Chain A
């Protein structure tokens, strides 16, 4: 469904991604793993069109989307769920959700989908008139996922849904993502929480310094000792770097 071929991209003259190849099959769940500053978010932004592709091509649902504007890519059914801190804090929960359905003109179906999202995340119904800036971390994460669903996506890309959440909440969020994938939505999940992501995904890519280091089926990667080493090696090194700076 999503085909990324030899993509290079970055900000201005600074190149972050250096030849990424990635493939997400229709209906599948694929994980993209990596530590801080490895290029995960840049890759998501490149797919969404927020960061321009320098070389290579991205194909979604049979169409080339590299070079298109972000709002056009959303309209083609590829929706990025932003990080949880990127809800609109000054808007109510319901306004945030309705914004997710901005591209749709079928307003009666949108109402029904809003109900469906509320059934999925009952806490959002309770708090629908509340400004989203006052929600807890887990609730905001549910809100941004719900907002992504409101666009009626063919494929969802999730940007670190476990970030800064308590383990129990992470479990709840991941079980919801699993339920979403069961409804036929293709999923690309970007994570630092390797264990959770590999439980959910069928296939995974590990990115480091803007290139894919390792790829393979989730089962292979769970049992691969070099994955643990390379992954933890990366994050420890990064933590050390950030402590020193």
Chain B
């Protein structure tokens, strides 16, 4: 393939777009990790549920796309809070406070992933469903490559969601309490914060973000029961690359993963597209285990 600057630019734009979506899912994983001390392996399935819920709301019920997205986010947040209350809380509690000792939680997460996937299979079947949305914007043409409007919209909406979340966490009282709970639950309790309630809130928030990602990716690809698995892996890679628990880290990690895999697919081999994210993950773990923006935990014993 001849080198051509225009197509390079287009590939980078594709990468950034999908990358911000990885970023918002990664942010949810990272939020749950700091709030509940667990890596939530069923988060990809929440993303898949979000995509299906968005599809049902907009195509079958006929709610306009933005409304369908907000609806899917709310429903996914409720689903997530239900799962956390009913299944995860018992396990996180048994470890003494909310810290988890052992593998129980990880296995429960994997089990939840399979269970959710099969529930979705029972409801919607195994076929890939198209999610056509007319955004009323012309595709952006760069040389011979046209970038569909759904990509542009995705990038803008994802960045807005991140901005809102950043504002919420940094400048509101509730956001301050969320950060306190994420950092240390015992101290948060002593500040008078209702910690169990906030853990539910954090879980719901993370699930709403995943659902937003699902509704954004739906129109780009299609909606399918098994779409969650790869998203989980990519988002996990993004969270680790950026540094677990860091909000700008999740965004930049996502964008890096997105660009890396698009350039790899374009210039090395398209059939191995999914390798590149993990290659990046391995490289970062080898040379900077705390991630690009991760702060090495300063623990004074």
- B-contacting residues of A (Cβ < 8 Å)? 11-12, 48-50, 69-71, 74-75, 79-80, 82, 85-86, 88-91, 95, 98-100, 102-103, 133, 147, 151
Q: How far is the CA of A100 from the CA of B193 in the complex (A)?
A: 10
Cβ of A40 to closest chain B Cβ, rounded Å: 16
Would A71 and B183 be within 8 Å (CB), given that A12-B96, A98-B176, A133-B298 are in contact?
no
Which of B38-46, B184-192, B254-262 interfaces with chain A?
B184-192
Cβ of A145 to closest chain B Cβ, rounded Å: 13
Residue-by-residue, is B170-184 near A (CB-CB < 8 Å gives 1, otherwise 0)? 000100110110011
Interface of B, helix, strand, loop or mixed by DSSP:
helix
Cβ of A12: which chain B residues have Cβ within 8 Å of it?
96
Q: Which residue of B lies closest to A133 (CB)?
A: B298
Cβ of A147: which chain B residues have Cβ within 8 Å of it?
191
Which residue from A50, A85, A88, A100 sits with its C-beta under 8 Å from B189? A50
Q: How far is the CA of A3 from the CA of B203 in the complex (A)?
A: 38
Would A88 and B295 be within 8 Å (CB), given that A50-B189, A71-B192, A102-B193 are in contact?
no
Q: How far is the CA of A82 from the CA of B184 in the complex (A)?
A: 12
Cβ of B295: which chain A residues have Cβ within 8 Å of it?
90
How many B residues touch A, CB cutoff 8 Å? 20
Instruction: Find out whether the CB atom of B187 lies under 8 angstroms from the CB atom of A86.
Output: yes
Would A74 and B179 be within 8 Å (CB), given that A11-B96, A89-B298, A90-B295 are in contact?
no
Q: How far is the CA of A80 from the CA of B191 in the complex (A)?
A: 9
Q: How far is the CA of A88 from the CA of B173 in the complex (A)?
A: 15
Cβ of B186: which chain A residues have Cβ within 8 Å of it?
50
Cβ of B192: which chain A residues have Cβ within 8 Å of it?
70-71, 74-75, 102-103, 151
**Which are the 3 A-B pairs with shortest beta-carbon distances?**
A74-B192, A103-B192, A70-B189
| Interface residues in B73-126 (C-beta closer than 8 Å to A) | 96
Residue-by-residue, is B140-173 near A (CB-CB < 8 Å gives 1, otherwise 0)? 0000000000000000000000000000000001
Cβ of B294 to closest chain A Cβ, rounded Å: 12
Cβ of B183: which chain A residues have Cβ within 8 Å of it?
88, 90-91
Q: Is B300 an interface residue (CB 8 A)?
A: yes
Cβ of A14 to closest chain B Cβ, rounded Å: 11
Cβ of A85: which chain B residues have Cβ within 8 Å of it?
300
Which residue from A11, A82, A98 sits with its C-beta under 8 Å from B190? A82
Cβ of A117 to closest chain B Cβ, rounded Å: 15
Q: How far is the CA of A12 from the CA of B95 in the complex (A)?
A: 10
Instruction: Find out whether the CB atom of A100 lies under 8 angstroms from the CB atom of B184.
Output: no
Instruction: Find out whether the CB atom of A70 lies under 8 angstroms from the CB atom of B177.
Output: no
Would A100 and B298 be within 8 Å (CB), given that A88-B183, A91-B179, A95-B176 are in contact?
no
Instruction: Find out whether the CB atom of B190 lies under 8 angstroms from the CB atom of A74.
Output: yes
Q: Is B240 an interface residue (CB 8 A)?
A: no
Q: Which residue of B lies closest to A147 (CB)?
A: B191
Cβ of A95: which chain B residues have Cβ within 8 Å of it?
176
Cβ of A89: which chain B residues have Cβ within 8 Å of it?
298
Instruction: Find out whether the CB atom of A99 lies under 8 angstroms from the CB atom of B191.
Output: yes
Cβ of A33 to closest chain B Cβ, rounded Å: 22
Q: Is B221 an interface residue (CB 8 A)?
A: no
Cβ of B191: which chain A residues have Cβ within 8 Å of it?
74, 99-100, 102-103, 147, 151
Q: Is B26 an interface residue (CB 8 A)?
A: no
Would A71 and B193 be within 8 Å (CB), given that A11-B96, A102-B177 are in contact?
yes
Instruction: Find out whether the CB atom of B194 lies under 8 angstroms from the CB atom of A71.
Output: yes
Cβ of B201 to closest chain A Cβ, rounded Å: 14
